[in-house]
Amino acid sequence: MQNYTSSIHFDKRLYKEDIAGSIAHARMLAKQGIISDKDAELITMALTSIRQDIEQGSFEFRDDLEDIHMNIEARLIDKIGDVGRKLHTARSRNDQVSLDMRLFLKEAIAQTITRLIDLQKAIINLADANLDVVMPGYTHLQRAQPVLFAHHMLAYFEMLERDVERFRDALKRTDVLPLGSGALAGVPYPVDRDFLARELGFSRISQNSMDAVSDRDFIIEFQAAAAVTMMHLSRLAEEIVLWSSAEFGFIMLDDSYVTGSSIMPQKKNPDIAELARAKTGRVYGNLMAMLTIMKALPLTYNRDMQEDKEGLFDTVDTLMSTLEVFSGMVATIRVRGDRASGVAEEGYTLATDLADYLVVKGVPFREAHGIVSRLVQYAMDMGKSFAGLALSEYTEFSPLFEEDVYNVTTEASIAARNVLGGTAREQVTQQLARARKIVQGEGE
């Protein structure tokens, strides 16, 4: 029973938050005359000493004391006797653990945003350094239209920017003080929750004690935002795996971010990217577990909620480490521009531009699409590229094809898409400047 219910082996991670909350609570009790100033000072000094013991590794965590709250309180009583027993006045472990989790997540969100921005900066730098590199854009993993490599990478900047916004929004609902809610009904003491909020850095105070002790929405929101972020990183990971393969050959990963084979000497395996794809599943699983834990719980606190921590800690650690290693990996990518541009010239990626060429000459787009579709099939059968077709071959499909059809090039295709959000160099340059302003905190 004791081993099954104990959570100290994982919730000891909350020691800093628990002690910070306890110090603030002691000061509030003294301010309100519930305990003496002397008692509050003694409690604060003892808690500070306990924190130092934990950080120095000399604190003995006991399974029989169940959790971080009781371990710290028991040690406090050992140090200062009955005065330590006064600390739990006007609070419950129910509002105490909610406080600890909110303090923990506020810091985790801040660190997550910082690491997201670090990765955004790495993406911006990689895009800027390869601004003129052309590559094939894909749909269905089939070559579709030529784009700038920088344009492709900035798509991931936009994904990550939405992630930043999600975490910032989640922070608003995490930044709520629950302390003072007691076990579920509030406390029968004249506590000063505004003082607690100021001491602990909360911008808002919970408005319903029953909701405050049973709410884990803020954890679910973090898990959901983390799952979306990991999905984005997994998409980038997949492209890195593909692009670094011999079949694509668009990029080379730094040796620091690949591993060799135990049997094949030539191998450079993109293990970081592959692991990120797999770890995404772990984060998804943690989100689903949390949703399942909460799906049918009656108000208010239930012991089920003890299971909110291990998955959250795992998600935080997984997300943080993945963002950190991706920043380094992206920053050291070497782009093989000649290879990417060469592939962009292949595969009839200018087919849409040829259809647009006919549209300019008055052909309805659907008809132009059919003409070029037949032209592509002919060129494939003949083993020719568009540039290798004679004008007489073009005119077999439409008399509107003229000598200027050879002006339809990869460079012209990219330059033509000079609209907001397009892949034209002018647009991409503007988007790079916008991205730099965003990561520098200057907004749009």
Per-residue b/e over 386-402, b at no fewer than 16 CB within 10 Å? beebeeeebeebbebbe
Q: Which of 140, 181, 203, 256 is catalytic?
A: 140
Of 309, 303, 291, nearest in space to 108 by CA: 309
User: Looking at 239-316, which runs of residues are DSSP E strands?
Assistant: 251-252
Contact in structure between 132 and 414 (CB atoms under 8 Å) = no
Contacts of 273 (CB under 8 A, 6+ apart): 236, 237, 238, 240, 241, 329
Residue with tokens 């005359």: 33
Contact in structure between 167 and 109 (CB atoms under 8 Å) = yes
| Residue 234 annotated in active site | no
- 3-state SS class at 134: strand
Length of the chain measured in residues: 444
Q: Which of 36, 203, 245, 261 is catalytic?
A: 261
| Residue 261 annotated in active site | yes
Of 127, 147, 131, nearest in space to 139 by CA: 147
Pairing of strands 204-205, 176-177: parallel
Q: What CA–CA distance (Å, rounded) separates 149 from 337?
A: 9
Following DSSP, what letter does each residue of 325-347 receive, concatenated? HHHHHHHT-EE-HHHHHHHHHST
Active site residues: 140, 261
